[in-house]
Structure 1
C-alpha cells in the first residue's frame, strides 16, 4: 500500500470531478520514495487543499519534506501564538552571515509559512482574522529582521550614521496599505516608505551623508525582499507611495518628510497615511514621526471636503476599471473591497481629528466603532462587515490558487470550481449569486455615503436661475428685480451683500476648488432663505457666516453635500442672530446640523455627564490641551442644542436656564477633576491630620449669581468662589514634590481658571468672575472654609450676605459642599435689624440704579430700570435675609421663582404679591432670552411691560419703603 493510497476516498469523492482528477494526477506524480504525512487530519484535508490551490500542490511536490515537517511538528493543524512567526524567523536567521545567505533563508522561511497559512485557510482551520494577522506578521518580521542584519553589515563597511550630537541613527520603515492595517492578503505587494530621524554623517574612515547611507540600506532591503531567485521572492515591494513617488529619494529625514506633507501633501496621500504603521527599524522614533504627521492626516475640524476628494478618487478608479474592463475585480469593481474601505476612511478623514478612536488602521474596527457611535445604522455596518469578510476571503483564496496577485474573478471553469470549493459553495453559480448580492449591498451603501444630492449641477439643463443670479453676469438692477420676485423685502441690500461677498477679499483668496464650492453653495442658500419667515435677515446672517468660515472650504462642502445641514442652518439663522454668530465663531458645530433628532433635544444633567465622560475617555489623561478643547466643544455643542430647542419653542424659557446651568455644572465638575489629577500626579494628594487621623482635604467650587441661582443665560459669566477644608496639622501633599495645602489649592484654583478662561483654538470655555471671594480682588483665590466662615461672620457687608441667597456648591468635594450649605444656612438665619436691613438694601439698589439704569424715557431696560428684574431680585434677597430665621424653607432654594413661591406660602409676601412678582419675573426673563437670541440688547419700548412695571414698583414701595 503506497502512502498515496492512505488518502481517504471520501475526501476525494467530495470534490468535483475535474478537481478530483487534478488531485489524483498530482498524487500519481508524488515521489515513490517520499511518504505522505501520517496524521489523519492532514490526509483528510489534503485533497481539498490541493484541489483549491496549485501553489500548495507545487510547494508540496517540490519540497515534500516541508509538508511532512509541518504535519509532524503540529504547525499545520494549530493556530500560532501572537509573535510566534517573529520568533521562528529570528531563530532561522541567527546563523546567517551574508546577503546571499539572508536571501536564501528568507525565501525558504516565507515558502514554508505561506504553505501553512494557505492550507489552514483553504481547509477551514483558520478564520479571516488569523489569516490576515499571520500574513501581516510574516511580512513585518521579514522586513524588520532583514533590516537589522543589513544595517549592521553596512555599518561595518561604511560606519554608523550619527546625528550632529553623535547619537546613532537607525532607519524607520513605514508599512502602508494593507500591511500597515495588519490586513495583508495572500499575494499582496507591500507598500513601504523609508525614512530616518536626523541628518548627519557616518563615523567611518570615509564619512558619508546619512541619507546616502540609508538610501543604500533601503536598496539592499528591497533587493532582499523583492529579488527573484530560484526559490522565488519574499514579497513584491512597492516604494511609489513615498514623497514624490519614483522621482523622490528612496529615504528621507523626518524633517524632510514633515516639510513635504505640510507643504506638498495631496489628498490621496492623507488617505494613504491613515494606515501608515512602523513595520521595521526604530519603532520608537517612527511612532514620534507618525504623531507629528497626524495633523496632516486628521484635521482638527470636521473635514467634509474629504468626502468630495474621496468621491473624485473613486471616480478616477472607476474610469480605469471601465477602461481596462475590470468590472469583475473583487478589489476595485463596483461593490468591491475598496468601496468598503472608502466608506470607513471617509468617516476617518472627516471626523478623525475630533475623535481619536477613529484614528484606527483596521477597517473592521472602524466600522464597528461607527456602529457604536451611531454614525452608521446597525444593519448597514452588519452588511458592510459581512461583505468585507466575504470579499477578503474570496480575494485570499483566489490568490492562493497560484500565489499570484490577482483580483479578477476567474473566467476559466477550473479556477472557478477551485474558488467555489474554497468558498464553501457547491458550484460556481451558487458562489456567483452570493457574490452578486454582496457587491450589490456594498455598492448601495457606498452610493448612500458618497452621493451628493444637491451638489452636482445638471449638465443638460445648465446653470439654474439662482446660479446666474449669483455669478455676477447680470446687471445689479436685474439682480434686484429677481430678488424682489423671489420674495426678498430689501433686494437692494441683499444684492449689495451678495456682490460684496462675491467680489470681496475672502472670495478672491479662495483656491479654485474653494471658489467652486462657494459658487455651488450660495445659490442653494438663496433658494433656501426665500422660504424663511424673515428671508432678508436669514440670508444676510447666512452670508456673514459663510464669509467667516469660507477659508476652511471643508465647511462649505458640508453644507453643499448635506441638504439637511443647510436646511437646519437656514432655520436657525431665521430664528436667531445669536445662533448665526455662534456658529460663525464655532464652525465645528456645523456637524450638529446633520441630525435634527439630537439638535433639538438638549440633554439632562446625567446624560450630559455621561457624554462628557465618554468624550474625555478618548483623550490621554496627560494631554491637557486636548482635554481643554474637548471641554470647549462639549459646551458649545450642548449650548447650540439648547438654543436650537429654544428658538423652535421646544422648551420653555425657565427650562432653558436649567439646561444651560446643567452644562456649566458638568463642565466645572470635569474641569476640577482634570486639574486635580494633574496636580496630584505632580505633587501628591493634599492631606492633613485632624484629631490624630490623616484625611484628604477637599476642594469645592461655590457658584453665585446666575449660576448659583440656576438662571444661567447664553454667554453668562460664572461668578464663583473657591474653598477648601484643609485644617489641623501636617497640612501638605504626600508626593515626591510636596506643597503646603494652601499653595496646592491656590494652584488648583489658578489652573482651573486657566482651563476655563484661556483663549484656545476652540475659544474661551467660560468667562469667570471671582470678585465675590472674601476681600474681593485683594483676597486669596482659594480660601479655607474656616477663613471664609470667619470673614462672613465678622467682616462681610450686607450685599455679600445678599449674594449668599443664590450661592451653592456646584463642583468638587461633596462633604465640603454640604459643609458650605450648613454655613450658608447659619449666615442667612442670623438675627437682623429689619429696619436697618431694609435701608441698606434699598440704598444699594438706588445706587446701582443710578449707575446702570436707562437714561432714555422711551426705553425700558428690563434688568436695571425701576420695576425691572433687579428690583425683584433685591426684594427676594431682602425677604430671605429678614425671614429665613423664622422660615427655614427659604434656605432650600437658590433661584428667584421658587423663593418667591416659598415667600408666598409662608405668608411673608401678602395678597398674591409673590405670584405677581413671579409672573413678571418670568415675562422679563423670557423677553431677555428672545432679545439675546436676536442680539437686540436688553431694552424694549417703554410701554411694553407697563403693567408688570407698575406691579413690581408698587410692591417695592410697599415692601422697601419707596425712593
Structure 2
C-alpha cells in the first residue's frame, strides 16, 4: 500500500516536471511546508517554473529563514494570491542566485507582493527611492555598511525586475530598460556614497558620469560590465590639476563601491576602458581634453561606441555639455576615409578572437549572435544618421524600428531582426539570471538546457507537450541563421563610392572621380547618370533614404546590361511617376527580386519600359512570386468581358481592354526578360510560353472589342446574325510574337427568317466597328487586325456568311488558301458557328486523297516566288528570320506540306502549331529525329530573335539590328555576354544553314 502511494506521488511529481521526485518528496514533507505540502495549486505552480526542483528547494530555504509568524504569512499568501505565487516561484525556479539572496534576506519576499499597474515598469526615480529605502532598512536591521546595504538593496530591486521578466509581465525591451534604469540609480547611489566618504574631493571638482555600451543604450543585461566615461571640470577657485586629481579619486572610489566583492557579493564591474586611450589614458579628463582627443586621435570604433553615450550621474549640466559636444562628431564619423571598411573589419576581428571551442555556443559575439544585429544597426545608423536625425537612438531595437520607419531597412527584415534579437537577448538574460554571472555562452549540460528551454517556453508561447531542449536548439539555430543572413545583407550591403559623394556631408569623391567610376561601370553618359542619381537620392526625405539604399545595387545591375544609361533613365522615369506612391519603393526595398527584375526590365530594351511608363503600377507584378506567370485565357476573357460590361460606351470599353492588354503584355515581356520562362533550360518551351501568352492576350482583346462593337451596332438589342472570328496564321497557331499582326477571318450566319443581305450589312458594321476601335491611335503597341487571308484577299468581302464561304471554297479555292487554313482556329464570337466553319474547311486543309503532283509543284512555286519577291532589297538572306535561309518560312512550309499530305490519316498532324506538327511528323516516321531536331532548333531560334528584336527596339523586325548597342542587347537576351555578338551571328547562320539543308531535302525534293 505504501509503495503504491509512493509510486503515485513519484508519478505526479514527474508529471509536474520534477526530475528528482525523491528529493522533491522529502522537501515537500519538510516541516517548513506544513499545511501546504499537498496543495495542488502549489504543486502546479511549481511545475510551471523553469526548474521545479530548484524552485521547491528555494521555497524551503526561504521558509526556513523566516520566523514562524512570517512563514505562515508567506505560505498563506502563496496559496491565496496567484500574482505572488507566480512571481516568487518563477524567480526561485529560474535563479539560484536570487534564491540565495532570499535565504539571506528572507523579508524581501514582500517586494513581490505588490502587483499594481504603477509597479510594473518603474523608472530611475522609482529605483532611486527603492534603493534608498532598501539601504535604510538593511542598515537598520543588520547594521551593514553603506556599501553592503547598497548591494542588498540592489538585489531586492533585481528580484522584482526578474519576477516581472519570468512571468512575462515585462518584455525584453522593458526588462533591459529597467536594468539600465536600476544601473543609473545604482551609479548615483555609489557616487553619493563616495561623496560622503570623501566630501573634500567632491567639493574640489565637478564630475559627470557618462554611461556607454548597453547601459548607455538603455538595454542592459542582468550581469554586465557597466561601461562609463568620466568627465570633469574645475570649480571656481580650484586649479585644474587639483580638480582632476580629486575627480579621479572620487571616480575610482565610486567604481570600487560597485565592483568590490564583499559579504554581499558585488553588483557589477564599472568599466572605464572606453575612455580616450583606454587603459593607458587618464581615468578622468576635462571636456576640453576629451574633445581634443576625439578631433585628432580617435579611431572609428570610438565614435561607434559614443553612439550610446548618455549622462547618468553626477553633474547634470556638465554631462549635457559633454553629450552636446561629442554628438556632432559621432554623426560625422561616416565621412572618415575607410569608415565602412573599418567598422566591417572590427566586426571580423571580434569573431576571429573568439576561442574556437566557444564559437558555436557564443550568443553575443559569434556569427549569428547579438553583435551581428548591433553592428549592422549601428553601421546603418552612422551612415544614414548624418542627414536623418530620427535614426540616432542608442537603443538597438528602437534604432532598428527607426531604420525601418525611415525606409533604410525593409519591414520584413526589420521584423526578423527584431524577433531574433529579442529571442537571443532573452536567452542571454535567462542564462545570466541563473547564477547572476556574466556569461554569453549557451550551456552544454542537459539540466541547464532544460531549465533554459522551460524558462523561455512561456514568453515564446511554445505550449505544452514540447521538448524544451529540442525546441530551444531549433529556435536558437533558426534565429541565428536569420541574423547571419540579414547581417551579411545589411552590414555588407554594397555601397558604391561613386554614389557616396551625393549624400550631404560625404566628400569621398569629387564629381570628376564619380564620373570616372560610372564610366568604368559602362555608363556612356556619366554626367547624365550623376544628374539622375542626384534627382533620385538627394535630400532627407524617406523616399530619398530608400533610394540611397537601392541605387548602389541597381547601378550594378544596370551595368550588367547592354545599355546601363537606358536602365538608369528608365528607373528615374518610373520613380518620378510612382515616387509618391507609398508601396513602390517599399516593394523594391523589401522584395529583393522586384528590384533586380525592374533593373533587368528597364535596361534590356524599349518595349517593356515603354509599357511600364504607360502604366507604372505594373511594377507591382515584379515583386509577386506569381506576378510573372502569364494568366490563362479563361481568366483574361473574364476580366475583359467584365471591363467591357462596365464601360459607358464602345471607346471606353476598348480603352479598358487596352489597359488589360498593356499590363499583360508587360507581364509577359518582363517574364521573358528576367528569365522566368527559363530559356537556358528549354528554349523551345520558353518560346511556346511567350507565343501562348501573347496569343491568349490577343484572343481576349479581340473578344472584348467584338463585344463592344456588337453592343455599339445593336444598341443593346440582339443582332440579326451570329458572328465568329477565326484566328489565322501565327494567331491561329498560338505563335504570336510581341510585334505580330493578328490574321483573322470573319464569318457570320443570319438568324432564322433574316435575309442574308440584311444580315451581311449588320455583320459588316460590326466588323468595321471592331477594326475602328482597335485602330484608335494610342501609345501602346498596335494590334493590327489583318483579314487579307480571306477569300479573294483584299478584293473580297471583309465578312462572309458561312454559306458564302462554302460556295467559294467549293468552286474557287486555291492551293495557298487551303494551306493558310491549316492555321484556322476559333478566336472569338459564336463558338458553335466557329466549330461549323472548321468542319467546313477540314476537307480543304486535310484533303482525303492527299496532294497531287501538280499541287505540290504549285506549293513549291509559291514558296520560291515568295522568297524572290518578298525578301526586302538589300536584306541578308542568311540572317532574315522570316524569309531567309532556314528561317521561319522554310520550316513552316515544310511542316505544312507534310500536314496537307498526311493530315487526313495522321491525327497528330491536325494541329495549328508548328512545333507540335513537327513532333507528330517525327513520331509518324515522316521525319527522322536529327532532321526534326534541326528544323525545331532553327524555328525556335528565329522566333527568339524576332521577339528579342521587338523587346529591344520597341518595334517589330525580321533582321538583327544594325545598331551596335541594340545588337548587343539582343545578344544579352539570347544568352550571349559582352563581346560575343559575332558568336551569336555565327551560331544563327550555322543553325539556319543546317535547317535549310533539311528543307532542301524534305520540301524541294519531296515527291507526292
Q: TM-score, normalised by structure 2?
A: 0.45
Q: TM-score, normalised by structure 1?
A: 0.47
Larger Rg: 2
